[in-house]
């Protein structure tokens, strides 16, 4: 599953670096037109995925997660394959929309592995699985740009689709899923409303999901402005390369830390690891507003990535412990929806803030979000600890 997630994540991100360049090949458009449609084409996938992720999680819980992964894998491959043959921006837009419908592979795979992993080692296993996703997302854009320069856009889409088909086929023959223990009766099955109520009634779980939204909002807020920020720091011919380095180094930090954070969470508690990561994320994100050269920015973004690497396995492992196995896929789907919503809100918020103030202001805003999430989680954990202490005293009396 780790290898499959690597291939799917790498393939799904291979086409992102040149979407705007691909749109330019459809006709003689103004820069404003290309920039506007690049945003629409990029964002529609996350917006639709935000809406449908819980449904794929629910289908996986009910019918088997491996079956759903096969549908999603081949669906993503089909959408990317067809993108290589479009000749208009609307066709590309609708294919990216369709891709959003079938974008749920990673959370469903997390649910599958989580359900087959003992709680005591969930953080370690899920951290290892996340290494495949992070490394794929890290290397995918680089390979995509290299392929586009070498063989052209159409063949890049075709090669990407073939890799996703191969990854899905590999999973069919290489992955065994334990049978899902279905509820004994229809009364035991939880409706979507009951699952939402289960999340709302667990303050820590709800806070953790909201933290997922804040993390994605803060992380994505600066990404569209990063190249401009690098250009402000220095005048050089290879600005695109340096901006890519500043972008990718965060993924490298995630890659080297995610498994270690998972093991640490198994030992001290995943909600505590999440709190530590949120605080340290703010600590390493805020100074990026004050850097004076590119290498200071690269170091701080690497350290920031180390903290971000602990958040996803901590959240997933906590859901593994807090949610019943019969609805874990759906709960993870709701968490993924929060993340996708952050993917949409973050770039918009960052663009508005930088246009009205400065790019450095985006770092202030995002650091504030991290601190708010940390304070909220700390308050909920302290309240739960006090409640537990009171219950212990009553029991002893």
* CATH code (residue 289): 1.20.1250.20
Which range of residues forms the domain containing residue 57?
1-176
Position with higher pLDDT, 256 vs 186: 256
Mean pLDDT over residues 211-216, rounded?
A: 86
Say if residue 18 is in the same domain as residue 116. Answer: yes
Question: Percentage of residues in the chain with pLDDT exceeding 70?
Answer: 87
Q: What is the b/e burial string over 183-215, where b = at least 16 CB atoms within 10 angstroms of the residue's CB?
A: eeeeeeebeeeebeebbeebbbbbbbbbbbbbb
> Model confidence over 138-159: pLDDT tens digits?
777 777 777 777 888 888 889 8
Q: For residue 182, tell me if it sits in a domain.
A: no
Q: Do 127 and 201 belong to one domain?
A: no
The residue ranking higher by pLDDT, 364 or 241, is 364
Please state, rounded to an integer, the average pLDDT across all residues of the chain.
Answer: 79
Q: What is the mean pLDDT of residues 362-367?
A: 90
Summarize the confidence of residues 275-280 as an average pLDDT.
92
| Chain centre distance of CA 287 | 24
| pTM (whole model) above 0.75 | no
Domain end marker among 125, 150, 176: 176
Say if 360 falls within a structural domain. Answer: yes
Whether 303 and 205 share a structural domain? yes
Number of domains comprising the chain: 2
Confidence of residue 300 (pLDDT cuts 50, 70, 90): very high
Tell whether 248 and 383 lie within a shared domain. Answer: yes
Give yes or no: residues 155 and 197 share one domain.
no
> Is the predicted pLDDT of residue 392 greater than 50, yes or no?
no
Question: Would you list the DSSP string of 52-78?
Answer: HHHHHHHHHHHH-HHHHHHHHHHHHHH
pLDDT at 393 over 50: no
* Phi, psi for 365 (deg, rounded to 5): -60, -50
Q: Has residue 88 got a pLDDT over 80?
A: yes
Residue 182 confidence class, pLDDT cut points 50, 70, 90: low
Residue 389 has pLDDT above 60, yes or no: no
Query: Considering all CA atoms of the chain, what is the largest pairwise distance in Å, rounded to the nearest integer?
Result: 80
Does 171 share its domain with 210?
no
Q: What is the pLDDT of residue 367?
A: 92
pLDDT value at residue 286? 93
What is the residue-wise DSSP string for 329-359?
HHHHHHHHHHHHHHHHHHHHHHHHHHHHS-H
Measured distance CA(334)–CA(213) in Å, rounded:
11
Final residue belonging to a domain, choices 110, 142, 176: 176
Query: Are 241 and 301 in the same domain?
Result: yes
Residue 216 shares a structural domain with residue 155:
no
Is residue 279 predicted with pLDDT exceeding 90? Answer: yes
Based on the fold, state whether residues 139 and 226 are members of the same structural domain: no
Which is more confident, 329 or 358? Answer: 358
Do residues 304 and 284 touch, judged by C-beta distance below 8 A? yes
């Amino acid at each position: 599953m780790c290898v499959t997630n690597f291939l799917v994540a790498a393939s799904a991100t291979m086409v992102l670096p040149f979407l705007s360049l691909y749109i330019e090949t459809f006709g003689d458009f103004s820069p404003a037109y290309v920039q506007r449609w690049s945003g629409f084409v990029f964002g529609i996938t996350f917006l639709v995925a935000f809406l449908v992720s819980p449904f794929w999680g629910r289908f996986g819980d009910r019918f088997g997660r491996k079956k759903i992964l096969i549908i999603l894998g081949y669906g993503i491959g089909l959408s990317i394959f067809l993108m290589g043959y479009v000749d208009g921006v609307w066709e590309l837009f609708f294919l990216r929309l369709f891709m959003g419908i079938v974008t749920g592979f990673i959370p469903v795979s997390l649910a599958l592995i989580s359900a087959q992993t003992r709680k005591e080692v969930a953080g370690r296993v899920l951290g290892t699985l996340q290494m495949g996703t992070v490394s794929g997302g890290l290397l995918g854009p680089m390979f995509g740009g290299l392929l586009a320069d070498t063989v052209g856009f159409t063949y890049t889409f075709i090669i990407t689709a073939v890799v996703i088909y191969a990854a899905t086929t590999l999973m069919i023959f290489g992955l065994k899923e334990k049978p899902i223990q279905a509820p004994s009766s229809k009364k035991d099955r939880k409706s979507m409303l009951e699952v939402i109520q289960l999340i709302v009634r667990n303050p820590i779980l709800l806070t953790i999901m909201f933290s997922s939204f804040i993390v994605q909002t803060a992380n994505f807020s600066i990404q569209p402005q990063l190249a401009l920020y690098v250009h402000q720091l220095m005048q050089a011919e290879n600005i695109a390369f340096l901006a890519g380095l500043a972008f990718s180094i965060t993924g490298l930090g995630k890659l080297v830390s995610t498994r270690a954070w998972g093991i640490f969470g198994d030992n001290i508690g995943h909600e505590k690891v999440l709190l530590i990561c949120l605080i340290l994320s703010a600590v390493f994100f805020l100074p990026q507003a004050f850097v004076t050269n590119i290498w200071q920015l690269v170091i701080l973004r690497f350290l920031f990535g180390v903290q971000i690497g602990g958040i996803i396995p901590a959240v997933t492992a906590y859901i593994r412990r807090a949610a019943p196995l019969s609805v874990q896929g759906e709960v993870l789907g709701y968490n993924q929806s929060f993340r996708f919503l952050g993917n949409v809100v973050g770039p918009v918020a960052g663009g508005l803030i930088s246009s009205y103030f400065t790019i450095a202001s985006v770092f202030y805003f995002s650091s504030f979000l991290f601190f708010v999430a940390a304070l909220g989680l700390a308050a909920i954990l302290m309240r739960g600890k006090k409640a537990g202490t009171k219950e212990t005293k009553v029991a002893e009396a």
